[in-house]
Structure 1
Amino acid sequence: MLSQERSMNLSSLNVHSIETMGAFDGPGIRYVLFLQGCPFKCQFCHNRDTWDTSINKIKTPEEVLADFNRYKSFYKHGGITVSGGEPLLQIDALIELFKLFKSHNIHTAIDTAGATFNPNNTEKMDELMRYTDLILLDIKHMDEGSHQTLVGASNKNVLAFARYLDALDKTVYIRHVLLPGITGTPTQLNALRNFLDTLHNVKQIDILPYHTKGISKWKTLGFEYALMDLREPTKEEIYEAHDILKTAYIYKK
């Protein structure tokens, strides 16, 4: 009964898992909270078990802070990153969580694909951004049709979210998964670079080479993996992506 009552509380978080020593999810060593549920259906997702929005583990912001404090000596130059799934699905709880963490002067970051952003209703997002130090924004694909195929949804609100963050001057790290022949083509990479050149708040660009480690998880869960024939990118393809996306890019200081 207690868990059911807490699941109805908008300030409680539906948690998938926790990583206590995250080194790739923002500056420093970080406490990474993975939330349950995602509206995107990425064909290459390595966290297929996070899509389901049913209740997994319910935690209050206070419980998350207490757990964070168990390891806080490691986080002097880090903080908390909330990932998923798609953390913005739980925006009410995320606001309460970050409000609590900022009251303790802890650096906050969100790892998101911007899947739930609505440019016509930003009231809750405006509030969340007041307590958010960094956005790790995963841009999947610049082409609308290809994004629809790859993710199962439009990219229009994702790009609108990037422009919204730019208008706020909110610090952003761009993340881009490099899929050979899909997101890793010169045409796609140049389109992404041209878009990034219109922004003024991007401090870092992270290129994430596709890997096949997630296939076994799909199989274990009983799902068919759509990209079985997709290979991992070569070193040359990774170097080319770095060259296109990063050469002469002036990061925000």
Structure 2
Amino acid sequence: MKGRIHSIETCGAVDGPGLRYIVFTQGCPLRCKYCHNPDTWKLHDGKEADTEELITDIVKYKPFMNASNGGVTISGGEPFMQADFVRDLLIKCKKEGLHTAIDSSGHIALDKADPVLDYTDLVLLDIKCYNEDKFKNLTGVDLEPTLAFAKHLEERNIPIWVRYVYVPNLTDDAEDIENLAKFLTTLNNVERIDILPFHKMGEYKWEQLGYSYDLHDIQEPSIDATNTAKAIFEKYNLPVVG
């Protein structure tokens, strides 16, 4: 089956457990102000890929993935925007005995997600902010679908690693972080929380694409700042990294 991808990383070490073969898909319904891959937004950009060709390449790295308890991660963009393509690739991965993960914003209809989740071992869930108004301002979409998706993953007993990008003046409010922590304590499938410090490595892409980048004046956070956020999650006995 054919789909459109942005790029491939063959030995990633931060997008799930162990060494990962990572497929970055095209298309995303969010327009996050800090996005470092805005060139993944448009579904019809990137390059065409076939799941048969992808799995042929993936199996070349099985020794490394097996030795490190790694696997395959589908990222983006938003993988669920090409649900049939992703599902077909994950089916092929499971036939090879590979661990599978999806990196998602959770902004997806549950009935569209479920056929893909049937072949998903782990979801890396990007919760951008827990404040509804700030979330909408930051991403251009509503928060509720992401929260509903998190609850649905719990119902399906699919583990999640929560990813929280810490952006000064946008996602650094202590009350918002505490409310997120409280929400996460209601779920029994949270294996890990990653605090990811904001960076500007993708700013040049915005300029190349002719997009207006609103965060020119935002500085990358200090270790003390991210440690303050980490302490809030730890207060609720959540497994936080960062």
Please tell me the TM-score bracket, short chain as reference.
Answer: over 0.9
SS, match of residue 230 in structure 2? helix
- Cα shift at 1:246: 2.9
Residue identity opposite 2:224 in structure 1: E
Conserved? CA contact 1:135–1:171, under 8 Å: yes
| 2:37 match | 47
Conserved? CA contact 2:193–2:238, under 8 Å: no
| 2:50 match | 60
Conserved? CA contact 1:173–1:206, under 8 Å: yes
| 1:159 match | 147
Within 5 A, what are the aligned runs for 1:101-140? 101-115=93-107, 117-119=108-110, 122=111, 124-140=112-128
Determine whether 1:98 maps to 2:90. Answer: yes
Select the residue among 183, 187, 195 that pairs with 2:183: 195
2: distance between equivalents of 1:143 and 1:28?
33
- Cα shift at 1:55: 4.2
1:194-225 CA-to-partner distances (Å, cap 9, x unmatched) read: 11011110000000000111112211222210
Conserved? CA contact 2:55–2:93, under 8 Å: yes
| 2:25 match | 35
2: distance between equivalents of 1:219 and 1:195?
37
SS, match of residue 148 in structure 1? helix
2: distance between equivalents of 1:52 and 1:113?
16
Determine whether 1:225 maps to 2:213. Answer: yes
Residue identity opposite 1:242 in structure 2: K
SS, match of residue 24 in structure 2? strand
| 2:74 match | 82
- Cα shift at 1:248: 4.7
1:138-196 CA-to-partner distances (Å, cap 9, x unmatched) read: 00011111111100010110110001101111110000000112211111110110110
- Consecutive aligned runs of 4 or more in structure 1 exceeding 3 Å deviation: none
TM-score by length of 1: 0.90
Determine whether 1:175 maps to 2:163. Answer: yes
1: distance between equivalents of 2:121 and 2:55?
17
Conserved? CA contact 1:205–1:246, under 8 Å: no
TM-score by length of 2: 0.94
Instruction: Report sequence identity in percent.
Output: 41
